[in-house]
Structure 1
Amino acid sequence: MSSHGGGVPSAAESLPPSSGRSSEKLSLPSLQSKMKCDPEGYESELLLLRSQFQSSLELFREQAKMSFTSVSGFGFDSTVAKDLSDRVMILSHVTPFYPQHLADFPKQLADLLSDAARSLPSGLRCDLTRSLILLLNRKVIDIGETLSLFMELQTLGDKVLKKLAFDHVVHSIKRMNQKHKNEAKNRALQNVMFRDLNQEDEARAKIALVTLCELHRRKVWFDDRTANAICRASLHPAPRIMIAALSFLLDYEKIENDEDSDDSSSDDESASPQVVLNKHTIYKASHQGTTASKKKKKLKLQRAMRSLKKQQRRSSEKGTNSQYSPLNHLIDPQGFAESLLSRLQTCNERFEVKMMMLKLIARTAGLHRLILLKFYPFVQKYIQPHQRDVINLIAAVVQACHDMVPPDAVEPLFKQIVNQFVHDRSRPEAITVGLNAVREICMRMPLVTSEFSSSVKISVFNDLCLIEIYHATPMRAGLASMIGQPFDEKLMNEDLLQDLALYKKSHEKAVSVAARSLITLFREVCPSLLVKKDRGRPVDPTARPKAYGEVDVATDVIGAELLLENSSKKRKFSDFNDQLMAGDTSLRALKKMAGTTTVNSLPESTDGILSNEDFQRIKELKAKKEAERAMAQHGLSTSAGFKVRNSDELSTKRVDAATLEAHVRKKMSKDERLAMVKEGREDRGKYQARAAVKQKKTGGLSNKQKEHKKKMPLAAKRNKVTRTRIEKKKKNARAGKQFRGRKAWK
């Protein structure tokens, strides 16, 4: 057998057979196949391959020490590298069949990669990595023993090797958790990742972060530890690690618009939500009006049904992770937000990075309803119409507002938005953004600092807002004067709201729509702040805004009032007739009937206990009310009012900056309308008059012409002649009695 470079046989040559067999020569792939079929019969070949591997490995290490010079220049001999790669590959394939003879082979392979990975040629390095992956897939070695090695291989700068090692780590951990999760093993692997993530080596930390993000995105490591590690990476001292973590956290959630989507897949679901629509509305959309109006009403009805199904599906998915974010798993959200805010105030990063940090702080504050009193004054100085990316900035401000923030902390920022954006000299786009921002903030914030200014005091110590309630005693009044002054200001007062409501008369449609949406909100929240003509007919004329710290506590079954309203309507006439019958016999009964008031209580027959039928009825009434509101939103009804979401729904949903902008379709010009009309006529033929089409008709007679040529029966002919004679006599009789008079002209 010939040898190359120190007596190592070439990979191209075949190995000689062992003694006792025929003298055929086998190539390495054929030998590998036969060794798998008959492991005991090919032990001598295995020993020969192992000795060749040891020789190639020793020769390779000697060349590395001596800086061997090849024909192509300085480096390793390609022939030796190829022989070593072939021997490693065949031994890795047959290792499961010879566990005793090749017990040290995986360790030798891992040691070679860990010690000399940077000095190895790229091709040999990739082949050794593939051989090690093959041993891992055959479960010869465990992923826990080689995870650090594969993380190190990704930092060498070899793109092929980096992708190979990264895919192997992700797929191995995913396959390990496919059937059941071994928490102890996962925790050990996570500790390796977390240790790399906290290192100062930027390349190693970046690889660990990317791996953790990929495993979390694929819901393999979908736990609190991984989510917290990713969130904490946004505080990493290396800017690249921080930016990568910020990008992952901000882009994880997909923004869901409240507008109706044309996704037809939601309509074809097997478990479709229950939709209750008014029969009269459906009849009007199909039978009343012209063809064009019926078509418009049908489209509106379809949009209303899609919107209603989407809302019902969201309400049914509240328990799932439809609005999931890694920020939900933060162990200390207050400390995390404060640390990120302090870094934002002192960092010198570019504007885009600062915006990402600001968005993440606002999202964390809104999601966990944190109190960050330093955040709002910091953002206030950037609220200017000419500020770069100001709409996203205002969206972050809206996201950070919730019912736990004191209104006096947001009031300067609120006034800054109104003064800078909503005035007569501002552009319509800026006015629209300002009005929409005012509406969103008023929807999320308590509008009144305290219902009674003498009973609620607010004090601030180290960014912690302390709310204390006092009674009117001299001692407590003195304590209040030491702690802080009482506040009786409102976030939105009557004069400001009426000034903003006047923009409903603007000629710009976007501005008028934004102003009307603000009026619609205050019709539900606090109608008393509006002028009489803007109040309309609110559902609750005595509604008032919540004071800071006020919470609605449910004292009855949710939705029981709908059951009461429905039952009271049914019993209205019967109860009135019964009272009248009692009033006929007694004057006292009539006086009692005149002074009775309606009491909101459940029927006496139920004794306050609802049955399954009552709960089903409540569900149907809720669906009917939602349907009325959806139809009113799309212009099909005027009976339903505006629904104000609660604080939990508003804090969970992410604020999209696009909702603050103007989205009004501009009026098309005449040329644009003609172009649209011509686009719709492309499939039509050239217009021709109906008479011209009839003249060009070819073929036989029409049915009407054929009826004229039918032969009538004899009785029908006689009847027709008689009828014609009688009509002629009557005509002549009338003609003789008529006075024609003298002609008025010659």
Structure 2
Amino acid sequence: MVSMVSGSVEPLSASGRSSEKLSLPSLQSKMKTDPEGYETELHLIRNQFYSALELFQQQAALNFSSISGVGADPTVAKDLSDRAMFLAHVTPFYAKQLAEFPSDLAAFLKSSARTLPSGLRFHATQAVILLVNRKIIDIKDTLSLFMELQTLDDRNLRKLAFSHVVHSIRRMNKNHKNEAKNRSLQNILFGLLQQDDEAKAKRSLITLCELHRRKVWFDERTANAICMACFHSSSRIMIAVLSFLLDYEKIENDDEDSDDLSSEDEMTQNPHVVISKETVYKAHHKGTAASKKKKKAKLQRAIRSMKRQQRLSSESSNCSYYSPLYHLKDAQGFVEKLFSRLQTCNERFEVKMMMLKVIARTVGLHRLILLNFYPFLQRYVQPHQKDITNLLAAAVQACHDMVPPDAVEPLFKQIVNQFVHDRSRPEAIAVGLNVIREICLRMPLLMTEDLLQDLVLYKKSHEKAVSAAARSLITLFREVCPSLLVKKDRGRPMDPKAKPNGSSKAGDSAGDGGNEDQKTKASKRKLSDFEGQLIAADTSLRALKRLAEAKTSHASSDSVDGILSDEHFQRIKKLKAKKEAKTALAQQGFKIPSSDQLSFKRVDPSKLEAHVRLRLSKEERLALVKAGREDRGQYQARTAIKQKKTGGLSNRQKEHKKYMPLAAKKAKAQRSRQEKNKKKSRSGKQFRGKKAWKQ
């Protein structure tokens, strides 16, 4: 006889075994080792589970709340959770006997999850997760259940369900990707994301963003689904999507959902991991079996950390920026729809700024044309506007060579008029010049000659930020259109097209004339030499042979001139390298990027404020003052220091307190008496000094 101890002890008979008392964990281990010998106990526990389940459902039907029911009879929920976990552990060993248990447990959890007590609900969820991990239940059948569990007001349960969904999908796509299964799971999450229920939409969005960030679902469908969530009826969902697209902050404000997930991908802090041959040899050939097992595990951890370091270093070295906005199927429709929502929404200014940035980023990335966007930006272009540098960066991002200059010209003129004038602050002038440079880099046709020459005059400013911005504008137009600059601002390696027409033609004609004169002189010299050689050839046969050899060698050299040898190619390379080096030195390393590179690159608002010294607040100034006082001691007056002196007396103080001998006292009294008499004698008459002969 075998008896089981779990709350209440009941005798259980098993053939061929002596009577003993077993708890559920010990019985579970024995059933795993000998499944056929414990079928009677299995049926008993299965019947107990279904009876407890029926009892709990009857209590719920009689309008007993979960809290009051557990308070009245806590053993009901305890027995139900214990037996659910027990059956979930032994289900792989009794597939036929417990064929209906997984579906019944999932259905019970789905139907009464909101009314269950937290402990029972958590254990039932753990049992379902155990069945999913052992592939008894498919993740497709339970995904909607786990997404619904995340909407409950239970922090631990939400964390458990979220981590299980992400880990299951990651594990499913670890070796190879099953597109059909992924598509079915994506359809479930996409459907939840499109629902009006904010809680379900938020949890599905968090799951999609996490899988997309971890590059598990790194495809166009997921990217488009995330982007299209910008048009959700809930403003919170829209803000979360905008934050994800702009890479501002985490979508989820609750850090508990992602703490356990982010810990896996954190790279070890070891700067460099080295695996030697000796370590590998010891892990496989030295020590006992247990020690070799530990060494192998340590070696595998080191190898994984090395691979992770290599992957992260390659990702950091790759400067390409990825965003789901790249994979938009209808980028023009997305931008127009989001811009119409921006015009009609009543959100706070920060949300509008996020929408502006996403629109500008999409317009610049796909080189779209949205003509109404630039007049909309124009109303915010003021130096005192909040987050003006971010706004100007968005304006720069939305400019590209496909936009007609007439659409951007009012915005461009307003930036010039509002920021760059004599009464403006130096910070505003510097930012304005930098913005003008970035816009002209993308659309050079906006600049006129008079405006450029006025802006270039700021290079003489005493403010470093203003002068640097003006010089950068000069450097740009030296490459883009030097003819708009004054001659002294064009620089040394000038484009011939930028020179005045008269001087260049005159120089060219003079050069051509000189070359023609040299050619005629050379031809005359050759003709005279040839005639002299002919005259000499008449006189001697040897001179005639010499003339024939010279003619043949000259003909061979003329025929070789049409074919280039390796020496010629090497010389051409050297000349090209010298020319490129000269131009690079003259240009000071400035290179104009292509239009594709400009659309691909994000505009950093901080670079628009380069060399600008911002005004410090009172707290920052006080912090700087206190930082300067750290190495200096506290001020004290000398008298206070003397009064607080703890050592002995000084020599002068000791002399004052020293007792004088009697003779010294008499001598001092006599001297003081004599000085008093002299003062009295001098006070009555004018004293003109002692006579020299009376001394």
Normalising by structure 2, report the TM-score: 0.67
1:326 to 310, 321, 324: 324
**Structure 1 residue identity aligned to 2:398:** A
The alpha carbon displacement at 1:20 in A equals 2.9
**Structure 1 residue identity aligned to 2:209:** C
The alpha carbon displacement at 1:438 in A equals 0.1
Question: Per-residue displacement from partner, 1:616-659 (whole Å, max 9, x unpaired)?
Answer: x79x969x969995xxxxxxx65645211111111101111101
Contact 2:375 2:411 survives alignment (8 Å): yes
**Which residue of 2 is the match for residue 500 of structure 1?**
455
Normalising by structure 1, report the TM-score: 0.63
**Which residue of 2 is the match for residue 597 of structure 1?**
none
**Structure 1 residue identity aligned to 2:448:** N
* 1:121 correspondence with 2:76: no
2:179 to 179, 183, 188: 183
- CA distance in 1 between counterparts of 2:163 and 2:206 reads 12
Question: Per-residue displacement from partner, 1:308-342 (whole Å, max 9, x unpaired)?
Answer: xxxxxxxx999978221110000000010000011
**Which residue of 2 is the match for residue 644 of structure 1?**
592
Unaligned runs of 5+ residues in structure 2 are 251-268, 275-313, 500-517, 530-560, 616-620, 632-695
Aligned residue runs from structure 1 range 410-559, under 5 A: 410-445=408-443, 447-448=444-445, 491-538=446-493, 540-542=495-497
The alpha carbon displacement at 1:51 in A equals 0.8
* 1:91 correspondence with 2:87: yes
The alpha carbon displacement at 1:79 in A equals 1.3
* 1:160 correspondence with 2:115: no
Q: Give the superposed CA RMSD.
A: 4.1
The alpha carbon displacement at 1:437 in A equals 0.2
- Worse overlay, 60-69 or 435-444: 60-69
* 1:40 correspondence with 2:3: no
* 1:243 correspondence with 2:191: no
Contact 1:247 1:356 survives alignment (8 Å): yes
Question: Per-residue displacement from partner, 1:399-421 (whole Å, max 9, x unpaired)?
Answer: 00011011111000000000000
The alpha carbon displacement at 1:604 in A equals 6.5
- Worse overlay, 217-226 or 199-208: 199-208
- CA distance in 2 between counterparts of 1:133 and 1:163 reads 13
- CA distance in 2 between counterparts of 1:169 and 1:338 reads 35
- CA distance in 2 between counterparts of 1:588 and 1:508 reads 70
The alpha carbon displacement at 1:529 in A equals 0.8
The alpha carbon displacement at 1:253 in A equals 11
Question: Per-residue displacement from partner, 1:33-78 (whole Å, max 9, x unpaired)?
Answer: 1111111111111111101111111111111122448997886632
Q: 1:71 to 1:105 in 2, by over 3 A?
A: closer
* 1:29 correspondence with 2:41: no
- CA distance in 1 between counterparts of 2:203 and 2:11 reads 43
The alpha carbon displacement at 1:444 in A equals 0.8
- CA distance in 2 between counterparts of 1:659 and 1:69 reads 61
Q: Secondary structure at the match of 1:26?
A: strand
Aligned residue runs from structure 1 range 206-285, under 5 A: 206-251=202-247
Aligned residue runs from structure 1 range 333-372, under 5 A: 333-372=331-370
**Which residue of 2 is the match for residue 377 of structure 1?**
375
Q: Secondary structure at the match of 1:156?
A: coil
Q: Secondary structure at the match of 1:392?
A: helix
- CA distance in 2 between counterparts of 1:588 and 1:212 reads 91
Question: Per-residue displacement from partner, 1:690-730 (whole Å, max 9, x unpaired)?
Answer: xxxxxxxxxxxxxxxxxxxxxxxxxxxxxxxxxxxxxxxxx
Contact 1:196 1:204 survives alignment (8 Å): yes
2:406 to 408, 416, 419: 408
Aligned residue runs from structure 1 range 516-665, under 5 A: 516-538=471-493, 540-542=495-497, 585-586=525-526, 605=563, 640-663=588-611
Counting helix residues as a fraction of each chain, which structure ranks higher? 2
Q: 1:70 to 1:234 in 2, by over 3 A?
A: closer
The alpha carbon displacement at 1:16 in A equals 3.8
Contact 1:252 1:325 survives alignment (8 Å): no
**Which residue of 2 is the match for residue 305 of structure 1?**
none
Question: Per-residue displacement from partner, 1:69-108 (whole Å, max 9, x unpaired)?
Answer: 8997886632110110000001000100110000001000
The alpha carbon displacement at 1:527 in A equals 1.1
Q: Secondary structure at the match of 2:21?
A: coil
Q: How many residues align?
A: 514
**Which residue of 2 is the match for residue 283 of structure 1?**
none
Question: Per-residue displacement from partner, 1:153-208 (whole Å, max 9, x unpaired)?
Answer: 11112111111111111110010000000001100111111111111111111111
**Which residue of 2 is the match for residue 700 of structure 1?**
none
- CA distance in 2 between counterparts of 1:225 and 1:201 reads 22
**Structure 2 residue identity aligned to 1:647:** S
- CA distance in 1 between counterparts of 2:151 and 2:582 reads 58
Q: 1:149 to 1:413 in 2, by over 3 A?
A: same
Q: 1:333 to 1:155 in 2, by over 3 A?
A: same
- CA distance in 1 between counterparts of 2:222 and 2:98 reads 37
Q: Secondary structure at the match of 2:20?
A: coil
- CA distance in 1 between counterparts of 2:146 and 2:136 reads 16
- CA distance in 2 between counterparts of 1:104 and 1:199 reads 32
- CA distance in 2 between counterparts of 1:658 and 1:60 reads 62
- CA distance in 2 between counterparts of 1:269 and 1:103 reads 49
Q: 1:344 to 1:21 in 2, by over 3 A?
A: same
- CA distance in 2 between counterparts of 1:649 and 1:581 reads 54
Q: 1:147 to 1:582 in 2, by over 3 A?
A: farther
- CA distance in 2 between counterparts of 1:26 and 1:237 reads 57
**Structure 2 residue identity aligned to 1:343:** R
* 1:145 correspondence with 2:120: no
**Structure 1 residue identity aligned to 2:604:** D
Larger Rg: 2
The alpha carbon displacement at 1:241 in A equals 0.9
Higher RCO by CA contacts (8 Å cutoff, separation 6 or greater)? 1
- CA distance in 1 between counterparts of 2:107 and 2:23 reads 29
Q: Secondary structure at the match of 2:217?
A: coil
Contact 1:628 1:639 survives alignment (8 Å): yes
**Structure 2 residue identity aligned to 1:427:** R
Question: Per-residue displacement from partner, 1:90-138 (whole Å, max 9, x unpaired)?
Answer: 1000100110000001000110011100000011111101100000000
Q: 1:420 to 1:127 in 2, by over 3 A?
A: same
**Structure 2 residue identity aligned to 1:368:** H
The alpha carbon displacement at 1:662 in A equals 3.3
- CA distance in 2 between counterparts of 1:341 and 1:216 reads 25
**Structure 2 residue identity aligned to 1:648:** D
Q: 1:58 to 1:220 in 2, by over 3 A?
A: same
The alpha carbon displacement at 1:540 in A equals 2.9
The alpha carbon displacement at 1:141 in A equals 1.0
**Which residue of 2 is the match for residue 567 of structure 1?**
none
- CA distance in 2 between counterparts of 1:382 and 1:124 reads 56
- CA distance in 1 between counterparts of 2:522 and 2:144 reads 90
**Which residue of 2 is the match for residue 471 of structure 1?**
none
Q: 1:128 to 1:513 in 2, by over 3 A?
A: same
The alpha carbon displacement at 1:228 in A equals 0.4
- CA distance in 2 between counterparts of 1:361 and 1:9 reads 66
Contact 1:523 1:538 survives alignment (8 Å): no
The alpha carbon displacement at 1:580 in A equals 12
Contact 1:196 1:208 survives alignment (8 Å): yes
* 1:387 correspondence with 2:422: no
Q: Secondary structure at the match of 2:497?
A: coil
Unaligned runs of 5+ residues in structure 1 are 255-264, 271-315, 449-490, 545-577, 590-602, 630-636, 680-746
Contact 2:492 2:586 survives alignment (8 Å): no
The alpha carbon displacement at 1:502 in A equals 0.7
